[in-house]
Structure 1
């Protein structure tokens, strides 16, 4: 029985821990909070998981929220230019339903289930010294602790990290009582772009108090959505949200003006510097640890790839660990294992970095065409579930021109 330690109890760490436990490994998870503390804490993300990532959860027996969380059937995109006036709008249906579950619910339940299945959890904060001690006493140690201090163990990969600062100011609030467009009554997410302000999203979700919607701002630095430095409480956050929507996305204001915060800890603020890091860190002489998910590949949440990348990372690492058998988990193996994750994550990263910039001319043409052509809208929306497809038609100008020409043919 090989001993494996996982530092971090989020999407990637816990999904991998459950898979390893089921495979007969001796697994220790290090979590900085208990399930009770997670449930009572502040919201942690604006997660949305698309069909392929949800399929990985179902295969692992971790799909506890099917039939409870809203099945998100479509994405509606609106561009407000000039502010307050829609210049284009299109809706695309997902081939597989998406889902958003408050991580206070999900991670707490997964921790409880892991312990009920016989898994070992060590509670308490981990620093570099503790990670080194784990690496000395386990066959393999993985760090899945997100963007915190432990991420600094892994050097920044400059060639894959074009940004050295956040590209958006982030704010979200979980709300009860948000309306939905009558022309599309099934649960659907909504994306609103105002070039001078940034993006605003509405995501149907399940939270600690039942069904809700997440309203999420991605503010261009210095723009009108970049106004959350004081980190207001839920009531003040909602009031500011409504004022912004009234001015920049009035149709959304009408749907949100009767809403109420879900709880006292339903707001989240921050900023993310998109970064790719080297996947292996030497924590003591000759001892190495392997980074997972957004510890080593962190994207801005503008494209909703975080939880999806994490699920894919956990699945690919699990397969690599099982295939390794009794051979050592050496540095070369760690590098190759990360490469299997990067095979997908590179496309999510490219798509996200593209969407953080003012849309180039070929992307503008594609979005305008999506408003007229349901086939383009469908392909764009389903690219969120599999960003690898975007390289064939969205992120490359020549491929975009060829695709538009193909669509126009009789």
Structure 2
């Protein structure tokens, strides 16, 4: 039986550990926190997972909260005008619903399941020196802890990382008491509110530790008016600032948020990081090799909501690469090939996400505007969140965008 060590208990690490475990591998999982510490700790992300990523969980029978989490049936886009009115407002329908489960709920539950199924769970913050030892006792060591000392083992891939500084200041609040969007009270959607030159507000339904909730998520251009959360430690002050900015920049969202309250004392999060693609192989001082997983190798800005989706798809891809490899050694060539297999699809996510961080060119503005009158365009844009590769066909190049819109209106593009 092959012995595998996974360091880090997030979406990719836990999904991969549980998948390998179900296929008979002897898996050790290292986490710097217990399940209870995760469950009662601070919110970690704004995860919204679309159909393909959710299906990977279903295939491993890990979709424990599917019946409880709100079904997200659409993705809506609003664009604020100079006077804070909406100049664009539409919603595209998803072919398969999306869901958001607070990672405190999911990671704690998955970690307990892994241990109950006989996996070896080690609660210990791993250092590079630890991995040096473990690399000699395991057939394969993988690192899925996206922050801290271990990430420094994986060099930045400059050819795939156009940014070396954070492109957005991030601020998250989980709330109860948000009213329905009056435009579509009969179904849930993720709402993307674009404030040109300032940033974005994302609003999404979620399942948290206390049941149904909503996430209010500001992405602010650094140095701009939304870059206002540094130094705020008090959760109530964080929420008050969130609402103040909503009232000013997205009053249509503020109108349904006048009675919200935080879900719990750890329901806020603020920070920033540079979107980065890293080399997949880390070399240890003693000569051993480790393979990077999930956010370790591809850390996108959350503007396109792809973080947990990419992590799930990475775990799915790596699982199949490991299973197909049989008893052969997990050498550097295999590690590189395993990542490149994942990159074939993930490169589309990176390309789209990085494009969304810049000022939209005229043809993209035309596409977003036209989607308000052309429901097929709105639906296709929404479903791109599940399959970002499709954006290559109608989003990046003016000629393709114009031809696509022309095909919908009967005009010659």
- For the aligned pair, the TM-score class normalised by the smaller chain equals over 0.9
1:93 alignment counterpart: 93
What does residue 230 of structure 2 align with? 229
What residue number does 2:264 align with?
A: 263
Deviation at 1:233, TM superposition (A): 2.0
Q: Cα distance, 1:404 vs. partner?
A: 2.1
1: CA distance between counterparts of 2:83 and 2:319? Answer: 47
CA distance in 2, matches of 1:164, 1:94: 34
Query: Does 1:160 pair with 2:160?
Result: yes
| Residue number in structure 2 paired with 1:252 | 253
Q: Which residue of 2 aligns with 1:131?
A: 131
Separation of aligned partners in 2, 1:398 and 1:239: 44
Counterpart secondary structure, 1:216: strand
The answer on whether the counterparts of 1:83 and 1:247 sit within 8 Å (CA) in structure 2 is no
Give the 3-state SS of the residue equivalent to 2:284 in structure 1.
strand
Q: Is the 8 A contact 1:83 1:194 kept in 2?
A: no
Distance 2:183 2:227 in 1: 31
What are the within-5 Å matches in structure 2 for residues 77-156 of structure 1? 77-156=77-156
Q: What is the match of residue 393 of structure 1?
A: 394
Q: Hey, what does 1:292 align to over in structure 2?
A: 293
RMSD, aligned α-carbons: 1.1
Residue aligning to 2:375: 374
SS of structure 1 residue aligned to 2:135? helix
What whole-Å deviation, never above 9, does each CA across 1:347-384 have from its counterpart, x for those lacking one? Answer: 01011000000101111111111111001000001000
Q: Secondary structure at the match of 2:75?
A: strand
Secondary structure at 1:211 match in 2: strand
Q: Structure 1 length as normaliser, TM-score?
A: 0.98
Corresponding residue SS for 2:231 = coil
Alignment of 1:6-17 (within 5 A): 6-17=6-17
- Looking at structure 1, the residues matched to 87 and 312 of structure 2 have their Cα atoms a distance apart, in angstroms, of 36
How far, CA to CA, are the matches of 1:194 and 1:77 in structure 2? 11
SS at match of 2:314: helix
- The aligned residue for residue 4 of structure 2 is 4
TM-aligned CA deviation for residue 206 of structure 1: 0.6
Unaligned runs of 5+ in 2: none
Distance 1:240 1:322 in 2: 49
State the match for 1:46 in structure 2. Answer: 46
SS in 1 for 2:223: coil
Residue equivalent to 1:240: 241
**Greater Cα offset, 217-226 or 234-243:** 234-243
Whole-Å separation in 2 of the counterparts to 1:296 and 1:257: 40
Partner of 2:404: 403
The secondary structure found in structure 2 opposite 1:272 is coil
Cα distance in 2 between the residues matched to 1:58 and 1:181? 29
User: What whole-Å deviation, never above 9, does each CA across 1:40-84 have from its counterpart, x for those lacking one?
Assistant: 110000111001100000000100011101011111110002141
Q: Say if 1:147 and 1:298, in contact at 8 Å, map to a contact too.
A: no
Stretch deviating more after TM superposition (98-107 or 234-243) = 234-243
Cα distance in structure 1, aligned partners of 2:133 and 2:86: 56
How many Å apart are 1:135 and its aligned residue?
1.2
Which digits, 9 at most, give the CA deviation of each residue in 1:241-277, with x for residues without a partner?
1111111111111101110100001000000200000
DSSP-derived class of the 1:27 partner: strand
CA contact under 8 A between 2:53 and 2:309: conserved in structure 1?
yes
SS of 1:178 mapped into structure 2? coil
Distance (whole Å) between structure 2 residues aligned to residue 145 and residue 397 of structure 1: 39
* CA 1:275–1:392: 2 relative to 1, 3 Å: same
Is 1:275 the counterpart of 2:276? The answer is yes
Partner of 1:25: 25
Q: Say if 1:171 and 1:216, in contact at 8 Å, map to a contact too.
A: yes
Instruction: Tell me, yes or no, if the aligned pair for 1:32 and 1:123 is still in contact at 8 Å.
Output: yes
Q: How many residues align?
A: 410
> Does the CA contact (< 8 Å) of 2:132 and 2:286 recur in 1?
no
